[in-house]
Amino acid sequence: MKHLTLIIVVCTLILSCQKNIEIDENRLFIKGGIKSGLVIVKVKDNRLKKDNKSFPLLYSIIEKARLKINNEGISSHYNHGEEEHFLNKKTFEYKNELYFNIKNDFYEWTLEKPTSNKTYEKLPINLEKEHWYIIQNIQFRESNSYLRFYINKNGEFEYNDLNYVMASPI
């Protein structure tokens, strides 16, 4: 009986060690589901000295893409300021994984910079080496979060876990 309890505890710890967010050149994973309004921004580092690996506070936006949940049978309404989606009048189950290079059912992209009314089945931004990116408007545990990541010259994604948007109580 002791061994069974130990096995259950170890398995629970291993499963809970998964990051809240994971990203690579093919997909984005967010524990708890990927919701409409998520934005991926490609930024240009405007620092004079660029040898440090921290996110540049001086940057300009190169491209910006917004994710939308949209398809026949999808409806939405706001509940306490948060958008909820329904598929054929049943609660929509948000996907935890979103692929960049293939179509994702019920999800589509639009380009906000440059401005375009066109929708895309695949991420319309090329994820390039030696560039910084920000993923904004991530709804996680009922809070607004974001992720900053860098793709190094070897094509590896460098990032930490989610950061929460802090709001002043004043």
Largest Cα separation within the chain, whole Å, is 62
For residue 9, tell me if it sits in a domain.
Answer: no
**Residues β-bridged to residue 145:** 138, 164
Tell me the residue range of the domain where 85 lies: 25-164
For residue 19, tell me if it sits in a domain.
Answer: no
Parallel, antiparallel, or unpaired for β 97-99 and 21-23?
unpaired
For residue 63, tell me if it sits in a domain.
Answer: yes
For residue 16, tell me if it sits in a domain.
Answer: no
85 band by pLDDT with thresholds 50, 70 and 90: very high
For residue 100, tell me if it sits in a domain.
Answer: yes
- pLDDT in the model for residue 11: 47
Q: Is the model's pTM score more than 0.85?
A: no
For residue 6, tell me if it sits in a domain.
Answer: no
Chain segment 146-162, per-residue pLDDT in tens: 999 999 999 999 998 88
How many structural domains is the chain composed of?
Answer: 1
For residue 3, tell me if it sits in a domain.
Answer: no
For residue 122, tell me if it sits in a domain.
Answer: yes
